Structure 1
Amino acid sequence: MSFRSKGALSVALMSALLPSLCIGENVPLTKTVVDARPIPMDRGAAETWKMLKKLHTRASILMIVAHPDDEDGATLAYESRGLGVRTNLMTLNRGEGGANVMSSDLWDALGLVRTEELLQADRYYGLDGQYFSTVADYGFSKSLKEALGQWGHDRVLRDAVRVVRTVRPLIVCSVFVGGPTDGHGNHATAGLMAQEVFKAAGDPKMFPEQIKEGLLPWTPVKTYARTPFFRTSEKGAYDYANHRWTPLGVTNHVTGKWEPGQVSTTVTIPSGTFDTPLGLTYPQISREGLGFQKSQNGGADIPFPGPQVSNYHRFGSHIAAKDKENSFFDGIDISLTGIADLAGNEPPTFLKTGLKQINDAVESAIAGFAAQDPSAIAGTLANGLKATNSLVAEVEKSTLAQEEKYNILHELTTKQQQFNTALLASLSLSVEADVVPPPSSDGIPAEFRGTQRTFQMATPGKNFNVRVHLFDGGKLPVEVQSVELNATSGKSWNASSGSAAPRTIEPGNVSDVRFTAKVPDDEPYTRPYFTRPGMEQSYYDIADNSSWGMALSPYPLHATVRFSFDGLTLESSRVVQVISKVDGPGTLRYPMPVGPPVSVAISPSAGVIPLDEKSFSVSVRLHNNVEGHADETVHLVLPDGWTSTPQSMPVNFTQMGEEQAVTFTIRPGNVSQKPYEITAVADYAGKSYKEGYVTVGYTGLRPYFLYSPAAYKATGTDVKMAPSQNIGYIEGSGDDVPASLKALGVNVSFLSAQDLASADLSKYNSILVGVRAYAVRPDLVANNNRLLNYVKNGGVVMVQYNTPEFDHNYGPYPYVMTNDPEEVTDEKSVVTILDPNNPLFTWPNKITSKDFDGWIEERGSKFLSSWDSKYEPLLETHDEGQSPQKGGLVYARYGKGAYIYNAYAFYRQLPLGVPGAYRIFANMLSLPKNPQFLSGK
């Protein structure tokens, strides 16, 4: 046993550094596994069979899409699991601008949620790698021109070229074609990039800085896109930019020519194939993975087995290719021995001989494979790995040209990794690494204790224990060379073992190796390596170039076990996990993160300050990660001339994970119409902490951590609010509107299902319906008539942005939303006030067009398309080329009260502190006390 601190490199990154890496006889390429346990189809005999298929081919593919959940998962699963293709996915952005049905996480927090969801889905697709570009989802875009204007053509192409040069695929494809049929601009950009990178990645003149870094050019053989299926009909393709149907056809970005008519199918992928060993079709497997993307779809919908195909059109090829193909790889030698083609027309004899020897071993292993005893082929696989190691050494010392050597070593090191994985699976070797409590002296056997909870966040200087659990589930004994803890930061964690590793692990036996370790005082926190200063920047700045393209920064600590089998060293590496227990899901294991001893946050983080405000309160929330007793002090850094009561506040924690909120009353003096910032500072153990994190996600999703300064940014605003308002709130899928309303002095009462069914609603001046509430609150649907009666008797109901589940005439009069409702994505679109004298625009704030300045991401979504004449449309706006949209804010008197449907994106504007949005919302909340409204208008 030993402890070694080293940087963790992904397989793709290590490949990118070749040929400078020397892979020797006993140094197999290894990959750290993040998940606590593989999914069932990636264990034992099933994993062995999958790896045999991968070993038998050099086929490789890269799919490029726009957001998480865009991917053609059935095709990815068919290619990877069915055919053994090395399969990678590039997702341009992380879906930051989308909606969220699972939690109130939006923007960059939602981006982290969707990243984690996609990583879980990727396991079912059987991906070898997941990559992201540096661009962020700025919201729905209706045209390719708009998307490229936001992101910059060269930025996206540069990122795509880097990925292609890293993974070096034979095939590049996309779900999108780069035109109107793609649905919107982000999709079209992905389709465009799949075609442009086909030409650009192999051109040494394109992005030469990458070549200086060690990434040599690479030219894929062919490029494809899925035959258009989004918003096409006999009328043609729907052009979102101009809101019209256009003739079917597509621009071939490889040739630059317009190809009119229905885009033809070059190859039909039988993605509905049934996988006999797994007992599922590939659509079933992929849809199980897609079901993890719950923030968008709410959960899995597994189809019944049956025929299914995916049709793709070939846009470009560097080889002669038929109009109709049987697979992506027609005309390409994708056999293992086909690696020799990378050495030119006359490959050296040693290369062809070595590849044949490796291939013979793989074919012998395939012939000898038996699911009931995969270890029977372990010796054959070992021979194949030995032959691969020998050939790597010969290639390294050969006189092959630099680029030929680079490309061949990329393929051979991939085979080394695949052999390593196949051998571990065939031998049924299992490794897990958990944080555990210190050994107990009470004499109770560990098996009777059960799994024990651990801390959830390691802090600098913390001492803790790790147990590395080894299990031989096969039929052969295996030697254990070493068990180590490795740090990705390169810093020393002072790890030492408290128990000896076994020299041999016998079939059916387990062995636990225990370590003590200490987090370095200067260990970096577990946080995204990509950041941006605000939502207005549509791309990320990269803090750590070594993590470029990865889904997330590597976790800080992993255990590596080296086994010895038949003279070879095999490696299995697992991230160290912390343990929690939650009623329902049960025991949960997540990678151990490192974070600060105290997390500091002000909620909300943005808002407004009324010009006449004499005092207001802010709440500072502290989360303690220190074990045992911790004494801290909190104070505020205020603008000049401002004071707070108290000036500082001591906070005493007694246990880890505890949270406390400290309220400060602030007296701002004179408030002007300008930005202000308040910062919270916590002092602990001689250090000051001015930032905090939120744990994004929901129960069952691997958590991640979004850091932000502990600051409240607010703008002095001429905004007034009717006093003494009692507001009820029907929460939907989650939003931050209630917290934002505190800036107006409003504290809402959340209405439960029981409240909706039987409580006295008349005590509320207004009732707000949260975003997507009709999609996630069946109790709201069931009791909707009670809301209408509340309005009829004098109340005011305002329904915020809701999805087509609302399209069932839940209002007092009929309306139509449609299943594909309009949205206005240009946050700078001109807004016309149709009735300036309506009570919503007159009191207590006089609303003008200036109140729509400074909006962020969009105007609104899910506008009504038609409505009864008793509704009055109050605003009109539209994107360029779009027909006027008046269904974003409609108002109706009903009985003594009023009913409002509001599709404008206040749920995005209020948490970001947009002044005009607060003024308009204040008027809507003040409506029950508006003199004009009370007079019956």
Structure 2
Amino acid sequence: MKYRSLFSLTIVLMIIGFSSIAQSNIYSSSKIQLELKKLNFLGNALYLAAHPDDENTRLITWLDNEKLARTAYLSLTRGDGGQNLIGTEKGAAMGLLRTQELIEARKIDGGEQFFSRAVDFGYSKTAKETFEIWEKDKILADAVWVIRKFKPDVIVTRFPPDERAGHGHHTASAMIAIEAFKLAADENAYPEQLKLVDTWQVKRLYWNASNWWNKGIAEEAAGNDKYFVVDAGGYSPLLGESNGEIAAKSRSSHRSQGFGAAMQRGENLEYLYHLEGEKATNDLFDGVHTSWKTIKGGDKIQAQIDAIIANFKPNQPQQSIAGLVKLYNTIKANKNLTPHATQKLADIQDIIKTCSGVFVEAIAEDFSGTENSEVKVSAQLINRNGAAVKATFSNVEGQIELPKNQLIEKDFTIKAPSEISQPYWLTSPYFGVFGVDQQELIGLPESPAAVNLDYQLTFDGTTFTYSTPLLYKWTDRVEGEIYRRFIVTPKATGEFSSNVLLFADEQPKEVSLIIKAHENYTTGKATLTIPKGWETTASQFDYNIAEKGQKQVFKFIVTPPKGGSIGDLSIQLSDGSEMKSEQLIKYNHIEYQTLFDPLVAKVVKVDFKRAGDRIGYIMGSGDEVPNNLKEVGYTVELIEADNLNAVDLSVFDAIIVGIRAYNTTESLKNGNLFLNDYVKNGGNVIVQYNTNRGLVTEDIGPYKFQISRERVTKEEAEVTFIDPKAEVLNFPNKLTKADFDGWVQERGLYFADEWDENFTPILSWNDPDEDALEGGLIVAKYGEGHFVYTGISFFRQLPAAVPGAYRLMSNIIGLGKK
């Protein structure tokens, strides 16, 4: 994948990493002062863990804003396998959402963000299993690459390198950190990286221990030199907040995981346990040359920085520009710079621009353009503070004077790149490791902008080159001004009327192909590809769409084969490429994201019978189960939990409660009364999984049961029918063990581990070397009806078109209807 600069059309990839100023471009004078103070500290720290939301935002805030160290978080995965509390995204889309949440978190706490190529494949119970799927050497290479590129003096892991970490990914992340600590300094380790970076020796490696694992940690740490204890609860007068307050805002960026956090004030001790390298005695950066005075000629640099800080005027930050330019040139002329000292040049350049008050943005006429299309751009530049500055654009002759507070606009047209915008880690098929070919891309939090605007600003005779991404902006009547990156799209994208087409018999179904134009006058030929044995009434579709954004609909009939069959519908274009789908990930707390994956619909012919027709569905945190049930013939009506007392529940054959509804829906505190009455009078209530923390009520169902953290993570784990004659295993579909083949990611999660004697467990299964778990599906007869709790991950299996999961769900819905 290629990325281009607006004028020079060159790839810009920063080998030394990002600017140490956080990934945000809005700074007050107090924040400028903080960045000036950071110029005096030549030290880096890297936090390392497994997932988005694993990081300790308080410690990151303390390191970056109090210790003044350049700080970053390396999350080995992007959280693709996690649950979603705010929407229906799963898999790659979930990883993209959580990636953006991490980027937003770093904007708040001041850190930078890195990732490895590891795929979050869901919950793992051992590091052994994790490494089998991750291809350990590749992930270890990525960690070494990030260390060599970012050059931390201190690494802190979130988890211990053993079973106390509680998750195979967690344990693996600590094990990776320990090995990478040693290998980053070894020139024989991953020598291909040394064409781009040098080896790097980290000073020390600590584990961020916690009373989460050890309730007696305070007593254990007292007088124990294996521990280094810091108070991360300090207050920043420049920021007007304590580290705990900033950290809470940062952690609350993880909305998809429901990690809104309360602000903390006052002392907060962090216990750091020594793993590798030299132990710290008085300071976490003991033995690290964090002062300019340790560099030859550094005394002069130190004096200049101190003078700039002392003379800084918050109401006139532009008066510091002359001193900063002089400082920049002094550092640049020094031939004895360490990597950390060299990084300060980029930091000073950013501070100069911020002090100047110069604002530059490049705005596209629309948020998207197709490959190689003409794109109209308006570049706007304003010198808000009146600093002495001139600007140069690559396509404008001479320098441009920038009078105080006068908006300068330059309109021009560019050619869009020749490749569509797709996250760099999602451009090829993958399993446990994302396929990324370009070494320079590995570790980056997101793809470089499709188009960048390069410009130069000259202050006091020194010219600095800056870059800003091409953006699109609009004004929402509620949210105000909103930005998103300009993206390159295919000329046309498509969608099927359903992503899963399940056929319970040989009756044909009508299917729609909806083609959307991404430029005016879009024409082409689309060819339908169907599995062997399936038939269709049309396979060629000539589309002709006049305006960008409009759609054309083609309807055709699909007839399944006589026997069972699973396959894909896809669309080939006349140039031999696959038609792409378009998925917009749109939330107010992140920048909008778009995915262009191959357009595919799963077609499944399965022996499927229904008992019951009308389903009431109480949505929880969000899933696709209602639409999946509609696809197989059920009539599904969404019920608001607030309205349970006003709805005639007796009209439903079953009421299904969506995933995590008892975690997210306060009104279910009182809903149990109405649902129990419905069951007593002959109805079926099916409650899907909830986490055992944060339940709005313990009263779920007519009898007591306890939700645990127990789960079966191996999707191929063998199933045992506890009572093969149980109705739920035999009607209306006769289930066999074959119905549990082809499942995805896991069997289930948050199983019950204790239940009232009125419940009957139905299935038993286990992960390797563990005891069998029976709480994944428990059924209780109550009055004339049935109550069911299930931790089975139907929310994953049904969208993945797993036939046996549909047959099992049908049987659960049909309880009592034999």
TM above 0.5: yes
Decide whether aligned partners of structure 1 residues 640 and 868 sit closer, same or farther in structure 2, where only a CA change above 3 A counts.
closer
Q: Hey, what does 2:45 align to over in structure 1? A: 61
AA partner of residue 102 (structure 1):
I
Sort the Cα spacing of 1:483 and 1:606 in 2 relative to 1 into closer, same or farther, 3 A: same
Contact 2:500 2:631 in 1 (8 A): no
Q: Is the 8 A contact 1:165 1:215 kept in 2?
A: yes
2:142 corresponds to 1:159: yes
Q: Does 1:548 align with 2:442?
A: yes
State the Cα deviation string for residues 311-348 of structure 1 (Å, max 9, x = none).
Answer: 21222225xx45xx33210122211243x4xxxxxxxx
Q: In structure 2, how many angstroms separate the alpha carbons of the residues matched to 1:752 and 1:200?
A: 56
Separation in 1 of the partners of 2:515 and 2:642? Answer: 33
**Aligned-partner Cα distance in 1 for 2:771–2:227:** 37
SS at match of 1:334: coil
Q: How does 1:857-896 map to 2 (within 5 A)?
A: 857-896=745-784
Structure 1 Cα separation of the partners of residues 672 and 584 of structure 2 = 34
- TM-superposed deviation, 1:263: 8.2
Aligned counterparts, 1:837-856, within 5 A: 837-856=725-744
For residue 273 of structure 2, what is the amino acid of its counterpart? H
CA separation in 2, counterparts of 1:705 and 1:333?
A: 44
Alignment of 1:397-796 (within 5 A): 408=337, 410-436=339-365, 455-480=366-391, 482-484=392-394, 503-520=400-417, 523-531=418-426, 537-602=431-496, 604-606=498-500, 608-610=502-504, 612-627=505-520, 630=522, 635-640=527-532, 642-648=534-540, 653=545, 655-659=547-551, 662-671=554-563, 673-681=564-572, 690-717=579-606, 719-722=607-610, 725-752=613-640, 756-796=644-684
- Structure 1 letter corresponding to 2:378: R
Paired with 1:294 and 1:303, the residues of 2 have a C-alpha distance of 16
- TM-aligned CA deviation for residue 827 of structure 1: 2.2
Alpha-carbon distance in 1 for matches of 2:22, 2:599? 30
- The answer (yes or no) to whether the contact 1:692–1:709 under 8 Å persists in 2 is yes
- Displacement after TM superposition at 1:275 (Å): 0.5
Shift of 1:112: 0.5
Structure 1 position 793, deviation (Å)? 2.1
Q: How far apart in 2 are the matches of 1:774 and 1:102? A: 14
2:289 is aligned, of 308, 333, 356, to 333
The counterpart of 1:358, out of the listed 282, 291, 301, is: 301
Distance 2:160 2:552 in 1: 52
Deviation at 1:288, TM superposition (A): 1.0
Cα distance change of structure 1 residues 466 and 334 upon mapping to structure 2, 3 Å threshold: same
Q: Is the 8 A contact 2:42 2:69 kept in 1?
A: yes
The residue that corresponds to 2:714 in the other structure is 826
> Which structure 2 residues correspond to residues 36-185 of structure 1 after superposition, within 5 A?
38-39=25-26, 43-127=27-111, 129-185=112-168
Cα distance change on mapping 1:63 and 1:359 into 2, 3 Å: same
Q: CA deviation at 1:6?
A: 3.4
* Gapped regions of structure 2 (runs ≥ 5): none
- 1:482-519: CA deviation from partner (whole Å, max 9, x where unpaired): 135xxxxxxxxxxx67xx89722233333222222232
Deviation track 1:861-897 (CA, whole Å, cap 9, x = no partner) reads 1112222222211112233454432221111122222
Name the CA shift for 1:518/1:287 in 2 (closer, same or farther; >3 Å): same
Q: Distance in 2 between matches of 1:581 and 1:776?
A: 31
- What residue identity is the alignment partner of 1:158? A
Partner residue of 1:201? 184
- The 1:286/1:514 distance shift into structure 2, 3 A limit, reads farther
CA distance in 2, matches of 1:32, 1:174: 21
Deviations for 1:179-212, whole angstroms, at most 9, x for unmatched residues? 222222211112122222111111112122222x
Question: What SS does structure 1 have at the residue aligned with 2:197?
Answer: coil
Q: For 1:264 and 1:662, how far apart are their aligned partners in 2?
A: 72
With structure 1 as the length reference, what TM-score do the two structures score?
Answer: 0.81
Counterpart of 1:154 in structure 2: which amino acid? D
Instruction: Describe how 1:221-300 pairs up with structure 2 within 5 A.
Output: 221-233=203-215, 266-297=227-258, 300=260
Among candidates 195, 201, 206, match of residue 219 of structure 1 = 201
Question: Are the aligned partners of 2:612 and 2:813 in contact in 1 as well (CA < 8 Å)?
Answer: no
Secondary structure of 1:865 counterpart: strand
State how far apart, in whole Å, the 2-side matches of 1:770 and 1:204 are.
53
User: 3-state DSSP class of the match of 1:70?
Assistant: coil
Letter aligned with residue 345 of structure 2: Q
Q: How far, CA to CA, are the matches of 1:507 and 1:357 in structure 2?
A: 33
CA distance in 1, matches of 2:346, 2:80: 34
- The alpha-carbon distance between structure 1 residues 103 and 652, as it changes in their structure 2 partners (threshold 3 A), is farther
Question: d(CA) in 2 for partners of 1:879 and 1:178?
Answer: 21
Evaluate the alpha carbon distance shift between residue 101 and residue 662 of structure 1 in structure 2; reply closer, same or farther with a 3 A threshold. Answer: farther
Which stretch of structure 1 is more off in the superposition, 88-97 or 704-713? 704-713
CA 763–652 in structure 1, closer or farther in 2 if over 3 Å, else same: farther
Aligned to 2:323: 380
Q: Give the match's secondary structure for 1:380.
A: helix
Change (3 A) 1:114 1:882: same
Q: 1:813 to 1:927 in 2, by over 3 A?
A: closer
- Name the structure 2 match of 1:5: 8
Aligned to 1:491: none
- The answer as to whether partners of 1:601 and 1:621 remain within 8 angstroms in 2 is yes
Q: Structure 1 stretch 769-778 or stretch 201-210: which is displaced more?
A: 769-778
Q: Which residue of 2 aligns with 1:808?
A: 697
Q: Give the TM-score of the pair, scaled to structure 2.
A: 0.92
Letter in 2 for 1:216: D
Change (3 A) 1:309 1:472: farther
> Is the contact made by 1:358 and 1:385 (CA closer than 8 Å) also made in structure 2?
no
Amino acid at match of 2:102: L
State, as a whole percentage, how many aligned pairs show the same letter: 27
Give the Cα separation in 2 of the matches to 1:657 and 1:706. Answer: 16
The 2-side partners of 1:837 and 1:634 are apart by 50
Shift of the 292–3 alpha-carbon distance from structure 1 to 2, 3 Å rule, reads closer
Cα distance in 2 between the residues matched to 1:774 and 1:10: 46
CA distance in 1, matches of 2:589, 2:695: 29
| Closer, same or farther: CA 362–230 of 1 in aligned 2, 3 Å | same
Indicate conservation of the 8 Å contact 2:611/2:813, yes or no. no
* Contact 2:723-2:762 within 8 A present in 1 as well: yes
Shift of 1:280: 0.2
Name the counterpart of 1:306: 266
Change (3 A) 1:7 1:71: farther
RMSD over aligned Cα atoms: 3.1
- After superposition, give the CA deviation of every residue in 1:772-802 in whole Å (9 maximum; x if it has no partner): 1222333444433322222222222211122
Distance 1:50 1:666 in 2: 64
Which amino acid letter does the alignment assign opposite residue 236 of structure 2? D
Larger RCO, structure (CA 8 Å, separation 6 or more): 1
1:287 aligns to what SS in structure 2? helix
